[in-house]
Amino acid sequence: MRSEKAINYHMFSSDTNQIAQRLGREFLIEQLKRMLLIRNFEIRAESAYQQGKIGGFFHAYIGQEAVQTAAVAVMGKEQWWATSYRCHALALLLEADPNELMAELYGRATGNALGRGGSMHFYTDRLLGGFGIVGGQVPVATGAAFTLKYLEQKGVAVCFLGDGAVVQGAVHESLNLAALWDLPCIYVVENNQWGMGTAIERALSIEPIAETKAPAYGMKGYTLDGMDFFNCYAGFEQIFQEVLQTSRPVLVEVLTERFRGHSISDPALYRSKEHLQTCLQRDPIQLLLSCLKLRNWMTDEEFEALDKEQKARAVASMKYADESPWPDPMTLGEDVFAP
Ligand SMILES: Cc1ncc(C[n+]2csc(CCOP(=O)(O)OP(=O)(O)O)c2C)c(N)n1
């Protein structure tokens, strides 16, 4: 978060001690493990990219892991989920096979989208896809929420979008319809402070995002600390229950920061080293680890072993991808939607 900015946030308040006690050691270690899988998967994939094994766009989620990990931990896989092109983490959290995802990055026939989608278009049966069009996922998630309501099914649609997407017309149309029709949709703006190289204050006329914009649609708005797993968990828990009970949409702003450039080809020279250093001090993985250590629920050795295990999983997925066949060019015209 940019500390130099004086924005009057009303952060969701949560009690880390109380939540940690309630969730317990095993559950929290499982969440740490998921965050480590995401981190290791992306770090390995970055190296594969540098070796020329992966082509096209590539947007890392590194630094933001606590947000989607907490959301999935609270709401479970069975909701409808949608996100932007920064979609590696959500696919892993919704239990797509890392082998299949790495093979997709490598453009192989065994990939998650048969090697045709690449980094920006992972999906699962409940992940409606990563979207390359900024804000493109927002009407889709709103449609999923409409389906839930229309079919009288229990559940919510969860839509992640970036701070840069907030000013897209489709976002406003979606929020308006969701509020008008009482659709159970949770819109989560992951405010990582930048839209490509543009600082948020140069793109948005008003901040905070959720707290100022939600009332304009007659919705509730919340602000969460995206580096703090516990704050995200507690916030999403309350929001999820509220949406299930009221079927009213909610707008959430989660303050976070990506530790990498916008994409792999962006050296992020617009961000000072000092600022990045400050952000790294609140690495969500380290914050969760320190909470576990404080309770004697995990030692450094145990953490290293867990990290190593997840790294091995990522490395194994690279081997799988490397050994997978290329798609047959004869199949290129298949499954193409061109009315
Ligand atoms: C409709 C549209 N306009 C512009 C772009 C180019 N573009 C790709 S990512 C991006 C920035 C989006 O930033 P944000 O929504 O904050 O998401 P983040 O990358 O920070 O996760 C832009 C402008 C696009 N893909 N789609």
Report CA(38)–ligand 1 centroid distance (Å).
22
Instruction: State the Cα–Cα distance between residues 227 and 221, nearest whole angstrom.
Output: 19
The model carries a pTM of 0.97
Report CA(273)–ligand 1 centroid distance (Å).
23
Q: Which two tokens stand for residue 259?
A: 């530790």
**What does each of the 339 residues of the chain score in pLDDT, given as a tens digit?**
444 568 999 999 999 999 999 999 999 999 999 999 999 999 999 999 999 999 999 999 999 999 999 999 999 999 999 999 999 999 999 999 999 999 999 999 999 999 999 999 999 999 998 999 999 999 999 999 999 999 999 999 999 999 999 999 999 999 999 999 999 999 999 999 999 999 999 999 999 999 999 999 999 999 999 999 999 999 999 999 999 999 999 999 999 999 999 999 999 999 999 999 999 999 999 999 999 999 999 999 999 999 999 999 999 999 999 999 999 999 988 888 877
The torsion defined by the Cα of 195, 198, 199 and 204, in degrees rounded to 10, comes to: -70
Q: Best of 85, 196, 255 to mutate for ligand 1, by most ligand atoms within 8 A of CB?
A: 196
Which residues are bridge partners to 224 per DSSP?
254
Instruction: State the Cα–Cα distance between residues 71 and 247, nearest whole angstrom.
Output: 18
- Counting atoms of ligand 1 from 1, which one is nearest the CA of 135? 1
Other Cβ atoms within 10 Å of 135 Cβ, number: 22
- Counting atoms of ligand 1 from 1, which one is nearest the CA of 134? 26
Instruction: State the Cα–Cα distance between residues 136 and 141, nearest whole angstrom.
Output: 9
336 contacts: CB under 8 Å, gap ≥ 6:
none
239 contacts: CB under 8 Å, gap ≥ 6:
186, 222, 250, 252
Cβ of 132 less than 6 Å from ligand 1: yes
Instruction: State the Cα–Cα distance between residues 101 and 61, nearest whole angstrom.
Output: 15
Instruction: State the Cα–Cα distance between residues 173 and 336, nearest whole angstrom.
Output: 28
CA nearest ligand 1 atom 25, residue: 133
CA nearest ligand 1 atom 6, residue: 134
Cβ of 134 less than 6 Å from ligand 1: yes
Q: Report all structural domains of the chain as residue ranges with CATH numbers, in order of start.
A: 16-322 (3.40.50.970)
